[in-house]
Homo-oligomer: A and B are copies of this chain.
Amino acid sequence: MKIIIDAFGGDNAPLEVLKGVSLAKSEVSVSLAVTGDKQKILECATQNNIDIEGVEIIDAPTVIETEDDPKVVLKAKKDSSMAVGLSMVANDSADAFVSAGSTAALLMGATMIVGRIKGVKRPALGAVIPSANGKYLLLDCGANSECRPEMLAQFGAMGSAYVKHILGIDAPKVGLANNGAEESKGTAVQIDAFKLLSKNKNINFIGNVEGRDIPKGAADVVVADGFTGNIILKVIEGLSMTLFGMLKEIFYKSLSTKLAAAVLKPGLREFKKKFDYTEEGGAPFIGVKKPIIKAHGSSNAKAFKNAIKQAEKWAKSDVLTEIERLI
């Protein structure tokens, strides 16, 4: 089994990618490979004393930039670190792919090069988010701004499979993000999606979940169209950051508050760790034939390591066959 990592994706590439790969080496039981300009990869590893022995380097001279039209992944930049990695996954030379590069290009490449699981209308980008009492998967977080009800219904099934096998929650509670609890709430899309989700007896659909109940962990899988899901995810990120920033100010106000904060430190560290995206790895792109993980653009070595471990777990799991069964 082999996992490929895009060495030239993200704000801190290739340095943090290679450091992450190096950290992951001893924690996974699969072989690792990186794609990108071989010369630069070797130079970066040597200059920074990063041990990447045993990691295969697959030469791919170009890089997809965030500003690039996502379509370049299919043709103009077929030789990019991203396209080369996706092609290897597509032709079964590898089992999973991790990239912190352009989201739009990765989603397009994953859909067009790797391809959808049979029966899947549209793959969805997921995000694993901490709640009061655990974690939940929110999908779609931005792959499909507008969704038909059938797409939302499939997201419920796909998310259910992922959460069961990767987060280890049996019969995960699937909820539809909505502006009220009643069946009649939302736009025409939500109303119809509610009906379709109710009909799927293979999943544990608990009905609509309101915004207020999402962070409390009311559902293990929160289904939304990509527009709404993206806003939910980012409001959560932004508000957490804002509140943590305000807390920090209170703690650093004076010598006595600093001393008091020191006593609370172990608890606060736990608290912060819970909301630390680098712990989660990356965002799974669910519905394509192989595990594809979009790492955060600002990922550091630890985030890359965790994304690689997440890819290993996913590649070794039954998520893909479970999706076929549930949709």
Contacts and interface: CB of A to CB of B under 8 A. Distances in A.
Interface stretch (A46-54, A208-216, A287-295): A208-216
A62 interface: no
Interface string A177-196: 11110000111101000000
A146 B237 CA distance: 26
Contact of A212 (B237, B260, B270): B237
Interface in A259-305: 259-264, 267-268, 270-271, 274
A264 to B, nearest CB: 5
A142 B283 CA distance: 30
A172 to B, nearest CB: 19
A249 B132 CA distance: 11
Contact of A187 (B216, B227, B247): B227
A291 to B, nearest CB: 24
A212 B234 contact: yes
Interface residues of A, number: 58
Contacts of A131: 242
Interface in A19-61: none
A214 B235 contact: yes
Of the listed residues A231, A251, A262, the one surrounded by the most CB atoms of chain B closer than 10 A to its CB is A231
A256 B246 contact: no
A234 B246 contact: no
A103 to B, nearest CB: 10
A246 B187 contact: no
A259 B264 CA distance: 10
A274 B251 CA distance: 17
Given A227-B179, A271-B246, A257 B253 contact: no
Given A210-B234, A250-B264, 6 more contacts: A142-B179, A146-B187, A186-B227, A211-B230, A211-B234, A257-B267
